[in-house]
Each structure stands twice: as structure tokens, then as C-alpha cells.
Amino acid sequence: MKKSRIVRDLACFTIILTLLSLLVPGCSLAARNSYDHGNGSQNQYMHESTLVSYNETNNVSESSSSESDVKQEQKNLSTENRSEASEYKQEKKQFEDELQSHKQEYNEAKENFLKIKDRIRAKELDSNSEEAVNATKSYLNSSINYMIAHLSNVESNMEYSNGNETNEKVIVIDEKIRLLEVEKLNVANTSSQGELLVVVRSVREIWNDAEKISLSSAGQTVSEKIGEFLEKSESLSERLGVEIKDLKETGVDTSELEIKLASYISYIRSAQEKKVMADSLYSGENVTREDMRTANNYLRQSLNDISKANKLLREIFVKLKNYETEENGTKARN
């Protein structure tokens, strides 16, 4: 009977350990338990688990601008916008520091929890002893704190990205944070491993809902940025087509330029197709984590197409500039 109880107690500990390892940011199966290997930062989790993050919104802007565009954007950037960007960077640094602090607390609590589990296995400690229950409470509380810090970081990114339905999503994330705070109160009122297991399962439900919202919101924000760039690319390709045609009428061999432009247009269309496929998944009902992973992969492919298109665009600009320099030189000699 005693052996059966020990097995049952260890099973309870194992379930709690497994559930929390799957829930805490950076410890999902999709991230290959990267947290346990020291790579559990929020950005690592977002990148490995979903293949796309809010950081990608900056990448779209950077990769979709020629050097002159970037300089012009910097020139047009108002003092107010620069101040806002500076405040966001400071806020983000603060969130990242807090996240690292909670990560360390989680690691320490988990290590202690595992030691307690080993002592129970060795029949040195009762699973419902005060020491064992407190160790589990500490582990669970540190996990919840880490989740809240992660969601607060996500919330900040949502507000700064200013994507569609941002306010609604922020309200939902706020509610999930509030519910997690309530679960911390429930942890304080528990007195056994069984009661703590009930809290863990409740936390799992809250976290899974919050995770879907944060991940889909990140992907949708990137998709919006991609859409903005693709709209500009369509008119740009038309202007380049006209410029190349005019150049050809002057007797210049523009075959290489025409091939590059055709390839550029092909990559842009491919990027648009991938974006549409991603959007169709994001807008679907009862979206699963696998759906989001697939959608975010489409966005990765779209970004890759955009990167290739911009490489061609730079080559076209250089070629056109060379023709312009040659033409000006010829006029000067004449």
C-alpha cells in the first residue's frame, strides 16, 4: 500500500513537472525544450515555436527599403516619433530584464522541485509534507510569474506595432494576466499536491488561450507590414517597366534589365500568394497551434521572396544609375 502511494505521489509530481514545462515560455515541445538548454528567452521561444515574431515587423521595413528610402524615412522622422521609439526601446529593455529575472527564479524553483521529487522517490519525504507542498507552490508561482512577464512583453509589442484590432487583443491579454494573478491566490490556498495539480490544469487552459492570441497577433502584424510593402512594390514595378522601355527606345540593350524586372515581379507575386495563404489561416475559426505554425511558415517564405526581390531591385537601380552616368558623361563630352 505504501509503495503504491509513493508511485501515485511521484506520478502527481511528474504530471505537474510535465505540464509546467510545456506551459512556461521557452519550454514548449515546439521549441524543443530550448529553455532547459539555456535558450529560453521570449524571442527564442517566439522564433522557434512559431517561426515569426514581432521583431519581423522591423525586418520587413528594413528589407523593403532601398538605401535612399531609408535615408528619406530617417529625414522625415519627427521628433515625436523618435521620442516614442526611444521610450519603447527603454520599456522593452525593462521587460526583457524582468523576463530574465523571472526565468532565473523559475530555474531555481524547478531545480528545488526536482530535488524534492528525488527525495520522495527515495522515501525520504512525504509528498504532502509542508516542505514538498511549498516547493511545488514555489515552482508553480515562479512559472505563473514568468508567464505574466512574457504576456506583458507581448502586450507592449502589440501596442507599439499598432496593428489591426490592437486594442481588442490587448484587452484580452490583460484579462489572461488577471486570471493568472487569480491562480496565484489559488496556489496560496492549496494544501496538497492534488489541489496544486488542479491549479496547474487551470493555468494550462489560460496560457494556451493567451498563447494563441499572442502568436496569431504577431503573425498578423507581420502580414500587415508585408501587405504595405507589396502595395508599394506593384506601383514601383510599373514605373521601372516604363523607365526600362524608354531606355530601350534610345537603343540601349535592356535585355538583362528586363529579365531582372521579370524575376522581381515573380518574387513579389509569390510573396503575395504566401501572404494570402497565411491570412486565410489566421482568419479561420478554431485555429490550432499547428495552423498558426503553418501560417507563420508561409510568412517566412513570403519574407524570403521579398528579400530576393529586393536584391534584384538593388541590382536594377545600380544598372539604371550606371546608364544615367554614362548618358550624362556622353552629353558632357558633346
pLDDT at 324: 76
Tell whether pTM > 0.85: no
Question: Model confidence over 2-18: pLDDT tens digits?
Answer: 445 545 555 555 655 56
Residue 170 — very low, low, confident or very high, per pLDDT cuts 50/70/90?
confident
Q: Is the pLDDT of residue 223 over 70?
A: yes
Residue 180 — very low, low, confident or very high, per pLDDT cuts 50/70/90?
very high
Q: Are 50 and 215 in contact (CB under 8 A)?
A: yes
Question: Model confidence over 110-168: pLDDT tens digits?
Answer: 999 999 988 988 889 888 899 999 999 999 999 999 999 989 888 887 877 766 667 88
Supply 332's cell numbers.
558632357
pLDDT at 257: 93
Q: Where are the domains of the chain?
A: 2-221, 225-333
Residue 98: closest CA among 38, 147, 160, 53: 147
Q: CA-based angle 285:291:297, to the nearest 5? A: 135
Q: Are 132 and 116 in contact (CB under 8 A)?
A: yes
